[in-house]
């Protein structure tokens, strides 16, 4: 295994038996033996990738593509039919939250049990149990049996344990939407902190906006193979364009089927087909349900004058006009900033900053103000999004606008850092 890597996956494959109608009792198996027909479904067909220490990657793809199966093999819940997986370091997984919890034991007792499953000693658990309880926000209920917990409380406790075991590698499967909005924000910020401390992270998620705020790289798995791999900025638009085309193709197939079944409605069906055929796939730079739509975006200075060039010491205001045809009560609003060479330099949203979503009207304007953007001279790309706390996008707009930001000092690198010099001769 390469010394710089935390995970190495080499050409793994996995098949499952999928029964058409499997008998569960001896009587059913004897009398209805023909029902035990099955097919071998090949979920993974030779997947290989490497993850460096401290790197965060996202696994994306449609349901059933094999991404969750890949993650379960990394956790050794299941094993590949062929190929190898090598891991270097203590592993913590957030796949089945609360696996190992006993309903009749208290929350405190279950912390000891669950943390020991992750490999912590009793001394290590005792050293951090107060932090776990504080993070879960269940101080008033921690000595009650967990069977008395609500589903949200149960997930809070499980997440608090898994996130506080000081793992070298953290594996996450679609569990970023736990608890209420404030707790989700705390979990998300904790993940970003863990990443900054050097933990290797692998996340399976349908929330592309969340992945872009955490991940250095995305791996798109399609029908058991890696279709695309690279920076989220490059991979995600291709994935969304593919999904949009796939949706249109299915819609056309449905129209064709209706035409065959009902000749009486042939004229209406042909009209619908013609309409469908003239529709273009969704813009690869923009996707979402369109229940909320960004109708306009303007960039001004503090005097309200539109500009596309700023100093890195000047205030920048982003005015986002929106329409709300879906009558959505509130939404998370997010921003991501990339250098023109696709390096992700910054990302945040209202959930992270304020631990809440923003209330919406039928139409309105939301203004994001940067007192300054302390980067060095260059061209910068901005993404904007309206989405649910779990990452479901109402309207994600990639490359909405670009700004040129200048630095009068002539510093090198990516960011401009406040600093001073001293000499013992002063």
Q: What is the pLDDT of residue 323?
A: 97
Q: What is the pLDDT of residue 275?
A: 41
CATH number for the domain running over 288-406: 2.70.50.60
- Rounded Cα gap, residues 286 and 208, in angstroms: 12
User: Which position has the higher pLDDT, 35 or 311?
Assistant: 311
Global pTM? 0.73
Q: What is the pLDDT of residue 279?
A: 37
Q: Identify the CA nearest to 202 among candidates 64, 99, 54, 61.
A: 54
- Give the pLDDT mean for 48-62: 94
Q: What is the pLDDT of residue 20?
A: 66
Residue 379 has pLDDT above 90, yes or no: yes
pLDDT per residue as tens digits for the range 67-87: 989 999 998 889 999 999 999
- Give the pLDDT mean for 364-389: 94
DSSP-derived letter for residue 281 is P
Per-residue confidence band for 418, with pLDDT thresholds at 50, 70 and 90: confident
Mean pLDDT estimate for the chain: 85
378 neighbors 339 (Cβ within 8 angstroms)? yes
Contacts of 301 (CB under 8 A, 6+ apart): 307, 310, 314, 315, 316, 317
- Rounded Cα gap, residues 177 and 115, in angstroms: 22
Strands (E), 267-349: 286-287, 293-300, 309-311, 316-323, 330-339, 344-349
- Rounded Cα gap, residues 345 and 338, in angstroms: 6
Q: What is the pLDDT of residue 249?
A: 60
Q: Identify the CA nearest to 209 among candidates 180, 236, 182, 229.
A: 236
Q: What is the pLDDT of residue 281?
A: 41
Per-residue confidence band for 30, with pLDDT thresholds at 50, 70 and 90: low
* Residue 158, H or E segment: helix 151-162
183-187, 370-374, 380-384, 394-398: which has the minimum mean pLDDT? 183-187
Per-residue confidence band for 320, with pLDDT thresholds at 50, 70 and 90: very high
Helix, strand, coil abundance in the chain, percent, nearest 5:
30, 35, 35
First to last CA, the chain: 52
Per-residue confidence band for 374, with pLDDT thresholds at 50, 70 and 90: very high
Handedness of CA 87, 92, 94, 99 (dihedral sign): positive
Contacts of 381 (CB under 8 A, 6+ apart): 337, 338, 339, 340, 399, 402
User: Which position has the higher pLDDT, 151 or 271?
Assistant: 151
- Rounded Cα gap, residues 306 and 239, in angstroms: 33
What is the percent of the chain with per-residue pLDDT over 70, rounded to a whole number? 84
Q: What is the pLDDT of residue 191?
A: 86
Residue 52 has pLDDT above 50, yes or no: yes
- Rounded Cα gap, residues 356 and 186, in angstroms: 11
**Overall CATH class of domain 5-89+168-232:** alpha beta
Per-residue confidence band for 152, with pLDDT thresholds at 50, 70 and 90: confident
- Give the pLDDT mean for 169-188: 76
Q: What is the pLDDT of residue 278?
A: 35
pLDDT per residue as tens digits for the range 203-246: 998 888 778 888 999 999 999 999 999 998 889 888 887 877 76
- Give the pLDDT mean for 149-168: 85
pLDDT per residue as tens digits for the range 268-285: 555 444 444 433 444 668
Q: What is the pLDDT of residue 131?
A: 93
Domain ranges of the chain: 5-89+168-232, 288-406
Contacts of 48 (CB under 8 A, 6+ apart): 9, 10, 11, 12, 83, 226
């Amino acid at each position: 295994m390469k010394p710089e890597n935390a995970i190495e996956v080499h050409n793994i494959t996995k098949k499952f038996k999928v029964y058409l109608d499997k008998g569960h009792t001896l009587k059913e198996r004897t009398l209805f033996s023909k029902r035990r027909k099955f097919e071998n479904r090949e979920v993974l067909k030779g997947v290989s990738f490497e993850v460096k220490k401290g790197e965060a990657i996202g696994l994306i793809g449609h349901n059933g593509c094999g991404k969750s199966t890949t993650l379960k093999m990394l956790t050794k819940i299941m094993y590949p039919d062929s190929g190898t997986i090598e891991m270097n370091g203590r592993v913590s997984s957030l796949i089945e939250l609360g696996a190992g919890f006993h309903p009749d034991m208290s929350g405190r007792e279950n912390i000891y049990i669950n943390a020991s499953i992750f490999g912590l000693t009793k001394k290590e658990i005792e050293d951090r149990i107060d932090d776990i309880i504080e993070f879960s926000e269940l101080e008033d209920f921690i000595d009650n049996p967990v069977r008395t917990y609500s589903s949200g409380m149960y997930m809070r406790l499980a997440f608090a344990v898994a996130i506080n075991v000081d793992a070298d590698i953290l594996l996450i499967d679609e569990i970023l939407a736990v608890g209420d909005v404030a707790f989700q924000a705390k979990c998300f910020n904790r993940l970003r902190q863990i990443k900054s401390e050097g933990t290797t992270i692998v996340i399976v998620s349908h929330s592309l906006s969340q992945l872009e705020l955490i991940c250095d790289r995305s791996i798109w798995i399609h029908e058991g193979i890696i279709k695309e791999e690279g920076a989220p900025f490059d991979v995600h638009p291709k994935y969304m364009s593919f999904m949009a085309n796939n949706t249109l193709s299915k819609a056309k197939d449905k129209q064709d089927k209706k035409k065959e079944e009902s000749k009486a409605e042939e004229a209406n069906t042909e009209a619908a087909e013609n309409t469908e055929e003239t529709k273009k796939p969704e813009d690869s730079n923009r996707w979402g349900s369109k229940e909320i739509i960004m109708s306009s975006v303007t960039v001004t200075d503090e005097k309200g004058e539109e500009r596309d060039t700023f100093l890195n010491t000047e205030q920048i205001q982003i005015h986002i006009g929106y329409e709300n045809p879906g009558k959505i009560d509130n939404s998370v609003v997010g921003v991501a900033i990339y250098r023109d060479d696709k390096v992700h330099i910054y990302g945040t949203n209202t959930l992270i900053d304020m631990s809440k979503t923003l209330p919406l009207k039928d139409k309105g304007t939301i203004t994001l103000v940067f007192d300054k953007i302390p980067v060095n001279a260059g061209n910068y790309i901005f993404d904007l999004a309206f989405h649910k706390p779990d990452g479901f996008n109402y309207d994600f707009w990639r490359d909405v606008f670009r700004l040129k930001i200048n630095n009068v000092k002539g510093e090198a690198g990516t960011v401009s850092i406040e600093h001073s010099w001293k000499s013992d001769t002063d």
